[in-house]
Amino acid sequence: MKGKVYIVGAGPGDIGLITVKGLKYLKKAEVVVYDFHLNAQVLNYINHNAEFIYAGKRGGHHTMTQDEINRTIVEKAKEGKVICRLKGGDPFVFGRGGEEAEALAGEGIEFEIVPGVSSAVAAPAYAGIPLTHRLYSSSLTVVPGYEDTTKEESSINWDALAKGAGTIVFLMAVKNLSHVCLKLIENGKSPETPVAVIRWGTRSDQKTIVSSLKDIAKLAEEKDIKPPAVMVVGEVVKLRETLKWYENKPLFGRRVLVTREHSEGFEALEELGAEVIEFSTIKIVPPESWSELDAAIDKIESYNWLIFTSANGVKFFFKRFFERDRDIRDLKGIKICSIGEKTASFIKSYGIKVDLVPEQFNAEGLVKSFASGLAGGGLKGLRFLLPRAEEAREVFPEKVRELGGEIDVATAYRAVKPEVHGKRLRRFLKEGKISIATFTSAATFNNFMSIMEDDALGLLKGVAIAVIGPVTARAVEKAGLKVTIMPEEATIEAMIKSIIEWSAGSK
């Protein structure tokens, strides 16, 4: 039984530019064959039971030849697998997607093409250069810029290119920049024609240079512009100073490392131009035994207060609650306390009212709220249930008992270290491409140090470290590192606000 192949364009770099359809097929794939020029964050969306095959294709250095890639996707399809051939940009714009589709068609294998956003249009757009404009250009030509300069005859019609009035976009032209400029000038293009070269377009390290046709190659050499880059030739380049928007964002150029399992809540940083790199150092899983939580659920009617300290606590508690054949009506008369507005919002999604959200979003704030009478006149005679992580601070349970209350602490979930390798992240850190590393718990930090092994301390030198809470801060400082950012409130929202304020002050 033959499988099916989806040849998907992943876009040029900004993870938000992958299409909805491309993401849909990526998630259902059993085999993913992917290239180098991708934002690796897109791989987080893949079914992690899938087989990953790295095809390389980086600046002429290919891990697999094109024939090997063709053969691989054919063989996997013949095994009956669903395959996503994930390519940077658009698969049919100098991406050899046509050759791969031909190989599949020749074997009678079903395939679909999912177009992607090509760097030919995306990089200029992020640099503030419209490729067409009524006052400047009404046509567009896209040309490969990697042609062998030693060839006696060129496959490019330089005369037609030079004499045309429209915009020209050269892809992969950096190594041949001097040759491209010379050929255009020799064939009649004005040496003063505006030119832009955009490296790593749509990414946080996007770099754009602008000059004339006669001087751009020299400037590119001075500015150390290397592949991958897009070259735009034409009068539309003049609009960049007015229309550049991406590089004007306040957090442009910042890369923020997120070490929790999901990066929800960090969208505000992306809106301001930062790139969020998700590298989870914890994985949230059920407890090894449900015995504690089951015992508490079986006597749920005996509690006066149910306390949730995180969305994970809510999620795992109710999952088990319903599995034990209980329903929301069984919580009648029990008051609900939430640490933080986000957790409260998650509780409300179950149709449950939250009775108390302490002003301080930590154990000390919780103790203060109850001790000051917000629980209805003290703790004596009150019974509390606290479903939480396997390893957590004992401040609140101990204080409840001191004040005469009774409390059952039940493990609802565990945070474990996932099986991940940090090769790409290690390279980013070594190259100074991570601006801020965020740690939302001591576990996220300690697991990061374990994953990075002996390199960990050196890799974080020079990186601003943002943490939530004093416990996480102590873990960082114990390792010999300095905490740069720690908000007063122990919430993601407060951390984001502090990162934005710190970034504004450190520019």
Report pLDDT digits (tens) over 66-114.
Answer: 999 999 999 999 999 999 999 999 999 998 999 999 999 999 999 999 9
Looking at every residue in the chain, the average pLDDT score rounds to 90
Active site residue 172: yes
From 491, 418, 432, 422, select the one nearest 463 (Cα to Cα): 432
**Which runs of consecutive H residues, i.e. helices, occur in 370-453?**
395-402, 423-430, 442-452
At residue 379, the pLDDT reads: 77
At residue 20, the pLDDT reads: 95
Catalytic residue among 35, 183, 189, 486: 35
329-345 pLDDT, tens per residue?
999 999 999 988 888 99
Structure tokens at 200: 């790593």
Structure tokens at 165: 């009035």
Domains (ranges, CATH) in the chain?
4-117 (3.40.1010.10), 121-243 (3.30.950.10), 255-282+418-506 (3.40.50.10090), 301-412 (3.40.50.10090)
Structure tokens at 67: 């024939």
Catalytic residue among 4, 57, 183, 335: 57
For residue 167, give every residue at least 6 positions away whose Cβ sits within 8 Å of its Cβ, in sequence order, or none: 131, 132, 136, 137, 139, 140, 141, 232, 233, 234, 235, 236
Cα three-residue angle 291-294-298, rounded to 5 degrees: 140
At residue 378, the pLDDT reads: 62
How far apart are the C-alpha atoms of 33 and 91, rounded to whole Å?
Answer: 13
Active site residue 67: no
From 210, 189, 213, select the one nearest 198 (Cα to Cα): 210
Active site residue 57: yes
How many Cβ atoms from other residues are within 10 Å of residue 505's Cβ? 7
Q: Are strands 167-171 and 229-233 parallel, antiparallel or unpaired?
A: antiparallel
Of 273 and 61, which is predicted with more confidence? 273
From 264, 246, 247, 249, select the one nearest 496 (Cα to Cα): 264
Residue corresponding to tokens 């640099």: 127
- Is pLDDT of 5 > 50? yes
How far apart are the C-alpha atoms of 472 and 465, rounded to whole Å?
Answer: 11
| pLDDT classification of 423: cutoffs 50, 70, 90 | confident
247-294 pLDDT, tens per residue?
999 999 999 999 987 767 888 999 999 999 989 898 899 999 999 999
Catalytic residue among 172, 449, 452, 495: 172
* % residues pLDDT > 70 (the chain): 93
365-378 pLDDT, tens per residue?
667 777 665 445 56
